[in-house]
Structure 1
Amino acid sequence: MSSPGQPQRRATLKLVAESLGVSITTVSNAFSRPDQLSEALRERVLAEAARLGLSSPDAAARSLRLGRPASVGVMYTDRLSFAFSDPGAVLFLQGVSRVCEENGQELVLIPSTSAADAAATAVGRSMIDGLIVYSVADDDPVLAAAADRRMPLVVVDQPRISTLPWIGVDDEAGCRAIAQHLIGLGHRRLAVLSTEIDRERRGGRVTVARQQAITFATTAARLRGYRTAAEDAGINWSTVPVVETRENSEANGYQATAALLRSKQRPTAVLAMTDQLAFGALRAAAKAGLSVPEDLSVAGFDDIPAARVEPYLTTVAQPHEEKGRRAAEHLLAQLTDRSAPPRQQQLKTTLRLRETTGTAHPTPT
Structure 2
Amino acid sequence: MQSRRRRGTLASIAAELGVSRTTVSNAYNRPDQLSEKLREHILETAERLGYPGPDPMARGLRMRRVGAIGVLFTEHLPFAFDDPASVDFLAGLAEELGEMGDSMLVIPASSEEGGEVDLSLIRQAVVDGFVVYSVADNDPFLAAVRARGLPTVVCDQPADVAALPFVGIDDREAIKPAVRHLTELGHRKVGILSVRLSRTPNSGYVTEKRLTGAHHQVQKNRVEGALEALAEVGIQQSDVPIIERHLNDRENNRDAARQLLTENPDLTAVVCTTDTQAIAVLEYAKENGIRVPEDLSITGFDGIERALFHKLTTIIQPNRQKGIAVGRALAEELEAAHEESGLAPASAAPSTGDEGDSVAPGEKGTDEMGANSSDQQAPRVLLATELVVGSTTAAPSVPSAG
Query: What TM-score do you get using the length of structure 2 for normalisation?
Result: 0.72
CA contact (8 A) 1:80 1:111 kept: yes
Matches within 5 A, 1:1-365: 61-63=58-60, 69-113=66-110, 114=112, 118=117, 120-160=119-159, 161-263=161-263, 265-309=265-309, 311-338=310-337, 339=340, 342-362=378-398
Structure 1 residue runs of 5 or longer lacking an equivalent are 1-57
The one-letter amino acid paired with 1:301 is F
CA contact (8 A) 2:66 2:126 kept: no
Compared CA separation, residues 239 and 319, structure 1 to 2 (3 A): same
CA contact (8 A) 1:111 1:119 kept: no
**Using the alignment, how far apart are the partners of 2:63 and 2:308 within structure 1?**
42
Give the deviation of 1:65 after TM superposition: 6.1
The one-letter amino acid paired with 1:102 is E
CA contact (8 A) 2:186 2:399 kept: no
CA contact (8 A) 1:294 1:360 kept: yes
Compared CA separation, residues 59 and 284, structure 1 to 2 (3 A): farther
Pairwise CA RMSD of aligned residues? 2.2
CA contact (8 A) 1:299 1:315 kept: yes
CA contact (8 A) 2:138 2:215 kept: yes
Give the deviation of 1:246 after TM superposition: 1.6
Q: Which residue of 2 aligns with 1:39?
A: none
Give the deviation of 1:119 after TM superposition: 5.0
Give the deviation of 1:201 after TM superposition: 2.1
The one-letter amino acid paired with 2:136 is A
Task: Describe the SS at the equivalent of 2:271.
Answer: strand
**Using the alignment, how far apart are the partners of 1:82 and 1:319 within structure 2?**
19
CA contact (8 A) 2:71 2:105 kept: yes
Q: How many residues align?
A: 307
Q: Which residue of 2 aligns with 1:35?
A: none
CA contact (8 A) 1:62 1:70 kept: no
CA contact (8 A) 1:166 1:343 kept: yes
Q: Which segment drifts farther, 355-364 or 320-329?
A: 355-364
Compared CA separation, residues 149 and 232, structure 1 to 2 (3 A): same
Q: Deviations over 1:79-137 (max 9, x none)?
A: 01112100000000001100111121111010123366625331111111110000011
Compared CA separation, residues 153 and 63, structure 1 to 2 (3 A): same
CA contact (8 A) 2:97 2:327 kept: yes
The one-letter amino acid paired with 1:218 is V
**Using the alignment, how far apart are the partners of 1:325 and 1:101 within structure 2?**
11
Bigger relative contact order (CA 8 A; separation at least 6): 2
**Using the alignment, how far apart are the partners of 2:98 and 2:173 within structure 1?**
34
CA contact (8 A) 2:109 2:141 kept: no
Q: Deviations over 1:283-323 (max 9, x none)?
A: 111122011100111100000111121x2110000010111
Compared CA separation, residues 59 and 180, structure 1 to 2 (3 A): farther
Give the deviation of 1:356 after TM superposition: 0.6
Task: Describe the SS at the equivalent of 1:200.
Answer: coil
Compared CA separation, residues 293 and 127, structure 1 to 2 (3 A): same
Q: Deviations over 1:46-88 (max 9, x none)?
A: xxxxxxxxxxxx9974435679651011111110111210000
CA contact (8 A) 1:73 1:130 kept: yes
Compared CA separation, residues 132 and 196, structure 1 to 2 (3 A): same
Compared CA separation, residues 337 and 204, structure 1 to 2 (3 A): same
Compared CA separation, residues 59 and 143, structure 1 to 2 (3 A): farther
**Using the alignment, how far apart are the partners of 1:121 and 1:363 within structure 2?**
57
CA contact (8 A) 1:116 1:141 kept: no
Task: Describe the SS at the equivalent of 2:105.
Answer: strand
Compared CA separation, residues 140 and 67, structure 1 to 2 (3 A): closer
The one-letter amino acid paired with 2:89 is F
Task: Describe the SS at the equivalent of 1:235.
Answer: coil
CA contact (8 A) 2:188 2:400 kept: no
Give the deviation of 1:183 after TM superposition: 0.8
CA contact (8 A) 1:250 1:278 kept: no
Q: Which segment drifts farther, 336-345 or 79-88?
A: 336-345
Give the deviation of 1:354 after TM superposition: 0.6
**Using the alignment, how far apart are the partners of 1:258 and 1:213 within structure 2?**
26
Q: Deviations over 1:198-252 (max 9, x none)?
A: 0022211111222111111111111121111111101121011111112122322
Structure 2 residue runs of 5 or longer lacking an equivalent are 1-54, 341-375
CA contact (8 A) 1:300 1:314 kept: yes
**Using the alignment, how far apart are the partners of 1:126 and 1:59 within structure 2?**
18
**Using the alignment, how far apart are the partners of 1:179 and 1:162 within structure 2?**
31
**Using the alignment, how far apart are the partners of 2:336 and 2:152 within structure 1?**
13
